[in-house]
Amino acid sequence: MKIKIKGIIVFSIICFFLIVFARIIFHFIASHFYFYVNENLYHFILTLITIFYLLGLTYGRIWTFNSLKKKRKKIIFILICIIIFLFVFLLFDIKGKTNLLHEYCSTENLGGTKGKVFEIDDKLGYRPIANSFGFQTFPVGEDIPIHFDENGFRTPVNDESRFSKNQKVDIIFFGCSFTYGSGCYAEETFPYIVASRKELNYINAGVPGYGLSQMLILARRLIPKYKPKIVIIQYSPWLIGRSTDIYGPSFLGLVPNPYFTFNGKNYNIQDPAFNAQVFALDREVLKRKYANNYIAFFINVALPFYISDFINYFKVKVKILLSPKLMPAKNQKQVEKLVYIEMVKLINDNGGKAIILNLGDKAYTAKSKNLFEKNMQVDFAEADSLLDNYLSRSASKNFRKEFCIWKFNGKDSVLVDPHPNPNTHEIIATSILLKLK
């Protein structure tokens, strides 16, 4: 009996250290490679260790290898293990997501948004709220103010819109958080720099998390309406990926995208599958109510939140199974080409000049010229080339150190946001200004 107890203790200690080791590895990856590492792999490893532990504890008591010689018993045993695995994984997943959601809503330790500045949109998935004000927060350092004007476009806090209903829009910028200027003041972003240097009335139509589908929807709305003289279209490798995926980037919950489908003849934009719950969360209200009450937060907020996400996710899977035409388009290169060609034609038809902003990956963006026929009126701002030249002359030769956002934590400068810093925006703006001479 004592030998069995000692064996159980030793086995338990081994499993405990396996979990600790997995956690150390996870934190190492999270701190050295990215900020918001998807925890699914970590939860998967924890579940494997837990199942291994449960199998070890029950071996000789509930099951043995000899007891599984019959095919039927073996199948039943495997099915039971799969069910337990899924259940344990779900528990770890909900627990991990609850911790993240609670930390986001109750502390300032996670980057995010303070104040309600985005709302649900049936076509775009979500959109900026007109005349809204808030802050982008970071784990350390000062918050960055966010202001959207009466049309839902980003502008500096103390600056009126650079156009009104009676003014002509000279230039529009389409893109994602790079164009929007995540992590920077609005007046530090390349849309503002270009417009100010050239004294142009501008619209910054960039929105964090947007992809090509949202960019095309906005282009169809804004270009015929404002007929700008110049349109800057961001070209980055991740934009098409977001538009051929049902869900957009988010570390809190599911955020459905409008995405491209293919019906055998044509590519179409499918509306977001459902409304994202994350935009209904009021961070300040939840902080006041649940900062010191984790159990109540789990019962009243997190559990309903993630159960609803799970149900919606399952519904989407069933819909696609029943109607395969709802599947995201697989030919990303073809979708990308069609979108950029349509946007450039739209610009040209409305008397404007199209400039493709190559930004994000020089090897990828070098191929942007292949999207268009030679007779199309389109130019290219080579931001990646300028950034590459700058990096080669820099002292550090470190991409993140030179181009991303760092803040002082009291002891040292730490990386808080992978988006372009103000100096990077200045370089990007220069690539565009070279095309506007």
Q: What is the pLDDT of residues 314-368, one digit of tens each?
A: 999 999 999 999 999 999 999 999 999 999 999 999 999 999 999 999 999 999 9
Asked if residue 311 belongs to a domain, the reply is no
Q: What is the pLDDT of residue 13?
A: 82
pLDDT value for 204: 97
Q: How far apart are CA 243 and CA 247, in angstroms?
A: 9
Let me know whether 73 and 168 are in one domain.
no
Q: Is residue 238 part of a domain?
A: yes
Q: Dump pLDDT digits (tens) for 91-137.
A: 888 888 888 888 887 776 667 888 899 999 999 999 999 999 999 98
Q: Are 327 and 214 found together in one domain?
A: yes
**Hey, how many other C-beta atoms are within 10 angstroms of the C-beta on 117?**
19
CB 84 within 8 A of CB 47: no
* Residue 65 and residue 13 share a domain: yes
Residues 88 and 118 reside in one and the same domain = no
Residue that is last in its domain, among 53, 77, 106 = 106
E strands in 195-313: 202-204, 230-235, 259-262, 267-270
Together in a domain, 13 and 86: yes
Identify whether residues 268 and 169 lie together within a single domain: yes
Domain range for 16: 2-106
Q: How many domains in the chain?
A: 2
In a domain, 288, yes or no: no
Of 82, 106, 130, which closes a domain? 106
The model carries a pTM of 0.86
Distance in angstroms (rounded) separating the CA atoms of residues 278 and 253:
6
Residue 219 exposure: Cα atoms within 13 Å on the Cβ side: 29
Co-location of 62 and 195 in the same domain:
no
Clarify whether residues 91 and 116 are in a common domain: no
**Which CATH number does the domain housing residue 245 bear?**
3.40.50.1110
Of the three residues 106, 140, 159, the one that is the final residue of a domain is 106
**Overall average pLDDT of the 404-414 stretch:** 86
In this predicted structure, what is the pLDDT of residue 103? 83
> CA 221, CA 356: separation in Å to the nearest integer?
19
On whether residue 426 sits in a domain, the answer given is yes
Q: What is the pLDDT of residues 365-385, one digit of tens each?
A: 999 999 998 888 999 999 999
The burial of 48, by beta-carbon neighbours within 10 Å (0-12 exposed, 13-18 middle, 19 or more buried), is given as middle
Predicted pLDDT of residue 235: 97
Question: Is residue 165 over pLDDT 90?
Answer: no
| Cβ 46 vs Cβ 16: under 8 Å | no
Both 118 and 158 in one domain: the answer is yes
Task: Write the single-letter amino acid at 1.
Answer: M
Structural domain includes residue 48: yes
Tokens 């996710």: give the residue.
313
* H or E element that contains 359: none
Question: How far apart are the C-alpha atoms of 81 and 73, rounded to whole Å?
Answer: 12
Q: What are phi and psi of 321, to 5 degrees?
A: -65, -40
- Asked, for residue 317, whether it belongs to a domain, the answer is no
How many residues appear in the chain? Answer: 437
Between 13-17, 25-29, 97-101, 342-346, the lowest mean confidence (pLDDT) is in 25-29
296 located within any domain: no
Structural domain contains residue 287: no
Claim to verify: residue 96 and residue 130 sit in the same structural domain: no
Task: Examine the domain organization and report whether 210 and 232 are in the same domain.
Answer: yes
Within this chain, do residues 172 and 91 fall inside the same structural domain, yes or no?
no
Model confidence at 226, pLDDT cuts 50, 70, 90, reads very high
